[in-house]
Amino acid sequence: MNKLRTRQTTIGLPLGFTVIELLVTISIVAILLGLLLPAVQQVRESMRRTQCANHLKQIGLGLQSYHTTHRTFPSGCFSRVDASGDDLGPGWGWATQLLPQLEHGSLYDQLNINFSIEAAENAKPRVTLVSTYICPTDVIQNVVVVSKRDSLGNPLSVICDVAGANYTGCFGVSERCIRRRTCLLRLVVH
């Protein structure tokens, strides 16, 4: 027998892998990981979509609970008005009114809705993120700057910072509906 071919232990087994065997093993593992990673990403995205749908369901149940309690749906927004009936906005939105129904009653209790949203008393709670209002798939800004705008939509001045959210309400195309108190709520998903 040729003893130069391979080194063997006293039992007759080889001592280790050859370079080719090692490269083949590494390439097989790399191919398997390449097939597995997209599947894992799809599962994660599916879980995020499910969580997003669950958030919308919670908002819907919160709206129904609000309706049961108050015999009306929350208005798109509400704010103080002066003696002539002009809006002193910005005001509080429907999402603020739903906080107690979404198990965020303690955050709602921290807010003083008798003051305007930009009041110093409301500085901390107005920038608190509510997980129910955030889609887990999207990357959002934690804090959004609210600005007064002219008729063309150009910012005039900064009003305050508020917590970011993905689910927003649309309460009409003009501010006339605010003054008439005929705001309708329509949920918009971004």
Determine contact, residues 75/183, Cβ cutoff 8 Å.
Answer: yes
Determine contact, residues 126/111, Cβ cutoff 8 Å.
Answer: yes
Percent of the chain with pLDDT over 90: 16
pTM above 0.85, yes or no: no
Whether residue 65 is predicted with pLDDT greater than 90 in this model: the reply is yes
* pLDDT confidence of residue 158: 83
pLDDT tens by residue, 95-138: 888 999 999 989 999 988 888 888 888 888 888 888 888 888 87
pLDDT tens by residue, 13-42: 666 778 888 889 899 999 988 888 888 888
CB atoms within 10 A of CB 134: 20
* pLDDT confidence of residue 171: 59
Task: Tell me the CB-side half-sphere exposure of residue 37, using CA atoms within 13 A.
Answer: 6
